[in-house]
Chain A
Amino acid sequence: MTNDMKQGRQSGAGEWIKILAAVGVVLLGGLIYLIVGGIFSGIGVPMWVSGIIAAVIIVPLTLGCLLKWDKLYGVYKSTNKMETLRLSKTEKKIYGLMSIVLGIPAFFKNLGLTIWNAIKAAFSAIGKELADIGSTFVHGDWKTKISYVVMGFGCLARGQILRGLLFLLFEAVFIGYMILTGSYWLSMLPSLGTQGPTKEYDLILDVEVTAYHDNSFKILLYGVLTIFFIIAFIYTWRVNIKQNKMAEKILASGKKLRSGKEDLRSMVDDQFHKTLLALPLTGILIFTVLPIVFMILVAFTNYDGAHNGYTNNLFTWMGLDNFNTMLSWTSGKGGNTQSYAATFGEVLSWTLIWAFFATFTNYFLGMFVAMAINKKGIKFKKGWRTILVLTIAIPQFISLLYVSKMFARNGLINQFLIGMGWIKEALPFWEDATWARITVILLNIWIGIPYLMLVTTGILMNIPADLYESARIDGANAWQQYQKITLPYMLFVTGPYLLTSFTGNMNNFNVIFLLTGGAPTNAAASSASGNVGYTDLLITWLFKITTGAESQYYLASVVGILVFVVVAVISLVVYNILPSIKNEEDFQ
């Protein structure tokens, strides 16, 4: 009876998941259709061809899923993973796909839980801090209590002169800064300035002169800095209170406090990490964190060439307008111009395609070259490597710019081929979208293989030789050895590297910009913004947006944020699938 009920419920859930899986498969098919179509349409193959390709992949998969569903789902649900061992080869493949698709809800659930827990932890931590601040005040002695207002007083009163003076100095600087300028920047932050430049009549010189007033750029920048400063102050204040509490505890237990000399000595000993990190982290804070925060904020303003915030017009907060513009499918400028969303989509899809090819062509070809050079019996190993490594040794701007000109309409290659009479017209390496895209990927191989060769050589040599010896005794041929030992090992070890190299290629400014500069121009897409070309990546497009006559910094910021989102999502998903993260010890 109970058994029946259980089964009934189980099959009910099974049906539900079956539908989900079917949807997953259809989505997968759509994805394949889009990716294949995206690549092929670039080369001029009609979309229906990619439709057929997608169908060829998806239909057997769907059929397989439907026919084997009950068996495979049973295995998936059962806790005994031994059962997977008995599946046939195809069944195993379908099973693998199935577990990925079925794992997606769990992934999002975990992600949600992680975020939720982090939020909860943050709030409870803040709560604890506040409680501690309160209780320290209530239970503290008078020195501690005064320290709540006069930072470092407790330290000074207890003989820790150096610490006390530092705290006091920091408080003085902070108060001074806030009174002198901080409060101004902070008060202007909500409006980003009220008065732009005005024309004023100069009585003495008898001319119209421009008088400059508020500076939106500086307000935003120093506003952010002031907020940083306030956060730092609150943190220091909190440290000051903690120190009082600790000092009281130490004194109560009859021990001595650290003297200033001891404090200094501890900076090269037990506190040495703080000394070492101080400089690098300050640099990162000012030159990386601050600009990023600033640029994120710019995405919510109308900062551009026409609103530079000082000499022509002030800029101001626009809320989510820019994101609406970027992500809406209707053209902002009206007429025949393309919407930003469409342009963004085009550039993004080429960026992904480029990153995919740039990463994997280099990876596999680099690995093959490395294996060829490493093969027993091949001589001059060092010589071959040295020749290839030239592309790393010589600054990229020389090699890329030179090669780019070699492939130009009137470049060396075209002139040579025409001169030899092999072609009549110059090959459109950089003029035709498809030609340009393929040439870029090929030339990237030229630049990238040596690096990958170096990387993989080291790893290939780390594969224990007895693995191959054992495989050969088991009867594996060269291809099987590659497929069953080399490749899994390489993928395992280089998994994280592949991920970073994929995201790195998405942002590979140098190769694209120096080779093509984004050319050839995509007229339709350019009508939205910037001089968008067919080989433009998001990152080069972003650069063009900021340098054009319009200098739409706010749009560049939006693109930058979207690049971040794409990179973060890809990293997060891949990171969770990577076997080297999941089963860290497998190959060790």
Chain B
Amino acid sequence: MSENNVTAGKRHMGLKASRVLANSTIYLVLVIISVIWLIPFVCILLQSFRVESTYQVGYVMPQQWGLDNYKNLFQTDFPRWYVNTFVTALVTAALQTVIVLCMSYTLSRFRFKMRKPLMSFMLILGMFPGMLSMIILYRVLKDLGLTQANAVPGLILVYVASSGMGYYVSKGFFDTIPKSLDEAARVDGATRFQVLKKIILPLSKPIVIYTVLTAFMGPWGDYVFARYISFGTSAGMNVAVGLYNWLNKDQIATRYTMFCAGGVLVAIPVAVLFMCLQRYYVEGVTGGAVKG
């Protein structure tokens, strides 16, 4: 009896010890990963305050701290690019959300003859590289006068117009709201529009926020479309295109630390917004991946 107890006790200790070992290994791995993940961001932040050299150096800590890089940003077109991007992101977020929600709600809730063919058709369309369309869209927008210096409305148009194709994630969300709620409301006397307004939308806060967030973040990172449409005109560039040019061979020597400063200014609002709304992003991403 007592012997039994002893062996059980030993085994218990063994279990505990192995768990401690496993957990400390995991902690070690996590710490290493975190360091790797943070290094670039710490470096970019530190280098944005470096005054002594505007080019790449072999150390991280600035020898001379200062806000010169940030001040210099305002001598360039950077503020213009920033405003361009901000306006684009804001308008895109608003319009794109409306479009995506219309599309996904319809495909989730209505059963009409063309529904399946429509979805397959969009699936096939999505397999064409979108960049190909840029060549013609550039020419069309140019005819409309929406390129170069006027790139912002042109860019918004491009982002928003085909955003209906990205309905998958929010459709997945709508699919999880029981259909009987719609039916109950319709029996209660609601039109389809009232069902959407009074029942579905109030329940869709997470997905609305997710859609707004991703739509808002998209334009901050887009390089290729923005470059096409601004087409070398500085006044029409967004931050990605503008800052990319600073790292060209002929500019990098003088603009490297300014790139870092610009990057910090771009990253902070976007990252803060993202971190605040992280919960909704995770919900959307998880749901979307499962639904395919």
- Report A's interface with B, CB cutoff 8 A: 217, 221, 265, 268-270, 272-273, 276-277, 279-281, 283-284, 286-292, 294-295, 298, 369, 372-373, 375, 377-378, 384, 386-399, 401-403, 405-406, 408, 410-412, 414-416, 418-419, 446, 450-451, 454-455, 457-459, 493-497, 500, 503, 507, 509-510, 513-514, 538-539, 542-543, 546, 553, 556-557, 560, 563-564, 567-568, 571, 580
Contact = CB atoms under 8 A, between A and B. Distances in A.
A287 B36 CA distance: 41
A283 B163 contact: yes
Given A284-B162, A412-B56, A397 B223 contact: yes
A17 B150 CA distance: 65
Given A446-B36, A564-B129, 13 more contacts: A221-B140, A268-B193, A273-B110, A287-B158, A288-B162, A389-B278, A390-B271, A394-B270, A396-B221, A406-B43, A416-B58, A496-B292, A514-B223
Contacts of B59: 415-416, 419
A454 B282 contact: yes
A419 B59 CA distance: 9
B65 interface: no
A418 B58 contact: yes
Interface in B125-140: 125, 127-137, 139-140
A169 B241 CA distance: 45
B290 A539 contact: no
Contacts of B292: 495-497, 500, 580
Contacts of B130: 288
B286 A397 contact: no
B89 to A, nearest CB: 10
Closest 9 CB pairs of A and B: A458-B286, A415-B58, A496-B292, A280-B164, A291-B133, A283-B161, A287-B161, A268-B193, A272-B192
Given A377-B23, A509-B224, A283 B99 contact: yes
Interface in B1-48: 19, 22-23, 26-27, 29-30, 33-34, 36-38, 40-41, 43-44
A303 B85 CA distance: 32
DSSP majority for the A interface? helix
Nearest to A411: B56
Contacts of B157: 287
B124 interface: yes
A419 B58 contact: yes
Given A402-B40, A405-B247, A458-B282, A568 B124 contact: yes
Contact of B164 (A270, A283, A412): A283
B220 A395 contact: yes
B37 A387 contact: yes
A556 B136 CA distance: 12
Interface of B: 19, 22-23, 26-27, 29-30, 33-34, 36-38, 40-41, 43-44, 56-60, 99-100, 102-103, 105-106, 109-110, 112, 122, 124-125, 127-137, 139-140, 157-158, 160-165, 191-193, 196, 217, 220-221, 223-224, 239-240, 243-244, 247, 252, 256, 259-260, 263, 266-267, 270-271, 274-275, 278, 281-283, 285-287, 289-290, 292
B253 to A, nearest CB: 10
Given A221-B140, A401-B259, A494 B132 contact: no
A369 B34 CA distance: 11
Given A287-B158, A419-B59, A388 B127 contact: no
Contact of A291 (B29, B41, B137, B220): B137
A455 B192 contact: no
For B36, B57, B109, B164, the residue with the greatest tally of chain A CB atoms inside 10 Å of its CB is B164
B127 A567 contact: yes
B183 to A, nearest CB: 14
Contact of A399 (B34, B40, B124): B40
Contact of B56 (A294, A410, A568): A410
B17 to A, nearest CB: 13
B220 to A, nearest CB: 4
A292 B278 contact: no
A388 B37 contact: yes
Nearest to B260: A402
Nearest to A373: B30
Contact of A556 (B109, B132, B263, B282): B132
Contacts of A388: 33-34, 37
